[in-house]
Structure 1
Amino acid sequence: MSSSTSDTPRRAFLKSGTGLTVVGVSAVAGVGYLLHRPGNDRQLVFGTLTDAMKEVERLAGAAVKPLVPATAWNWSQTLEHCAQSIEFSLQGFPSSKSALFQNTLGAAAFNVFAMRGRMSHNLTEPIPGAPELDASTSDATVALARLRNAVHNFATHAGPLHPHFAYGALSHAQYEKAHAMHLANHLSAFDVQG
């Protein structure tokens, strides 16, 4: 038996082993990301958009402040970002991860978040392809109205929903859970002054 013939299975084994190592390291890094908890995170949990909006209204009715270093976005940017996410579930996301990503890592991340009842993600990462958030305004009146409208439109929407840019296809109930967890994660980085 020639050495080139006997090396073929060995090379395949080594390549697959390397691939498994890369997947394993990626999975470990992913777990760290899923368990990431920034300082000053209030760890809010909401089961529905109605529950999440109660906290939005509580914060909006007071002097709200970001909890440093939990987020670098102001209150208006945060409300605008959360509204965008809900709007895109109805209109379609401007840019999406591949179907492979959505059906593997994306779906797995959503399932982990749903089991925990809580999402963890970078609180200053924009939605891919979304219009830039306006950092110049500290008046959140327009952003708050936009979020209220987005939540209302989602609640009354009876048609199909567009796939999430990372999680892929979600039912209405799953999407509501995703939006509630998204709001909880962002609202955890704010509290009332005093």
Structure 2
Amino acid sequence: MNRRRFLYSLAAVPVVVVAGVELASRRFTPEPDLLLAKLLSFKGQQLRSSGSWSPTMVFQHLAQSVMGSVTGYPEHKAAWFRHTVGPLALKVFKTAGAMQHPLDEAIPGMPELDANLSVETALEQLISAIQLFRQSTRLQPHFAYGNLNHNDFMAAHQLHIEQHLTQIEVG
């Protein structure tokens, strides 16, 4: 193989990978009804967290995230990030069917979580935020992923919520 062909082949690899992630990410279908049913099943249950945040803090954080898509996020990552790395990360998460991020990292600029708020109140805030999001026709840019359509935003919320729920236990 000559050097020119090798360089062209080498340059094509990232293009093929990105195209593959793009196509594969389109297969992820969010299921907000199932997500809401899971959250509703927590009502009246004794919950505990295996992580550093209590269940009330987890639910508040998730409600903040969902509400940010409706009312706006107070701080955003750099524009170059929201137009490159952020959207690519979401596509990778959708392709994998799971999100991976630090589970005790606050959303930039959001109010501090209230450790004394009841779990029931925080859970109700999250459920209400999801219901409001589902009815919203005008969404704000995500602080890391940038401008998203409704389906991609729902996918981001579902993957985010599901990852945090891995630390919530009943009993």
- The SS at the match of 2:89 is helix
Cα deviation digits, residues 107-138 of structure 1 (max 9, x gap): 1110100111111111110000000001234x
**Structure 2 contact 44–120 (Cα < 8 Å) conserved:** no
Choose which of 31, 48, 65 in structure 2 pairs with 1:48.
31
Q: 1:61: how far off?
A: 3.4
Listed one character per residue, the Cα deviations across residues 34-63 of structure 1 (whole Å, up to 9, x for unaligned) are xxxxxxxxxxx9832222222222233322
TM-score (norm 1): 0.70
* Structure-2 separation of matches of 1:47 and 1:170: 14
- Give me the whole-angstrom Cα distance separating, in 1, the residues matched to 2:32 and 2:146: 20
Q: Distance in 1 between matches of 2:104 and 2:134?
A: 26
Number of positions where the alignment pairs a residue of Structure 1 with one of Structure 2: 144
1:10 matched residue in structure 2? none
Q: Which residue does the alignment assign to 1:11?
A: none
The amino acid across from 2:69 in the alignment is S
RMSD: 1.6
Higher Rg of the two aligned structures: 1
TM-score by length of 2: 0.79
> In the TM superposition, what are the counterparts of 1:1-194 in structure 2 within 5 Å?
47-67=30-50, 71-137=51-117, 139-158=118-137, 160-193=138-171
Gaps spanning 5+ residues in structure 2: where? 1-27
Whether the aligned pair in 2 keeps the contact of 1:76 and 1:144 (CA below 8 Å) is yes
**Aligned 8 A contact 2:73 2:142 in 1:** yes
After superposition, the Cα gap between the structure-2 partners of 1:182 and 1:46, relative to the gap in structure 1 and judged at 3 Å, is: farther
